[in-house]
Amino acid sequence: MSNKSRILVDTNVILDVLSRREPHYLASAAIWALVEQKKLDGFLAAHTVTTLHYLLSKHLSRPQANLTLTKLLQVFAVAAVDEAVILKALALGWADFEDAVQMAAALNAQVDYLVTRNPRDFKDPLVKVLQPAGLAALFPLSGE
């Protein structure tokens, strides 16, 4: 097992990078770069991958969406969303079930941080929740 910090990246952070959404692109891209540089072990919840494919397929061809996800999964590992994760998410009793599943997947993957642009959505977090800029400040990027 790695000594690196482990993070689960919320869907909105990945979309910031793929869509170059401003003003969020730079901070979100820094998180992606930290994972690419292997300074952090990065995870995406399994349902994030399916959501991304759905959204990408609306704007790209299916082969382009598949290629984008294939490249994404060369950088990020997938955190399981199985029956135990769903039951944990239900037990959290949060109003936003998708956020509860993200948190339950983060717990199951034993990550140190859940990275999202919407930390207020995660009430009583069981894993530390940070915005991309907050996490990037903890782990400076290496110069290329």
Q: Domains (ranges, CATH) in the chain?
A: 5-137 (3.40.50.1010)
What lies within 8 Å, CB to CB, of 46 at 6+ separation is 78, 79, 80, 81, 105
Helix (H) or strand (E) holding 40: strand 40-45
pLDDT confidence of residue 141: 75
* pLDDT tens across the length of the chain (144 residues): 457 899 999 999 999 999 999 999 999 999 999 999 999 999 999 999 999 999 999 999 999 999 999 999 999 999 999 999 999 999 999 999 999 999 999 999 999 999 999 998 887 779 999 999 999 999 877 654
Structure letter (DSSP) for residue 125: -
Q: What does the alpha-carbon distance between residue 54 and residue 50 come to, in Å, rounded to a whole number?
A: 6
Both tokens assigned to 124: 């009583």
Q: What does the alpha-carbon distance between residue 10 and residue 103 come to, in Å, rounded to a whole number?
A: 10
Q: What does the alpha-carbon distance between residue 9 and residue 119 come to, in Å, rounded to a whole number?
A: 12
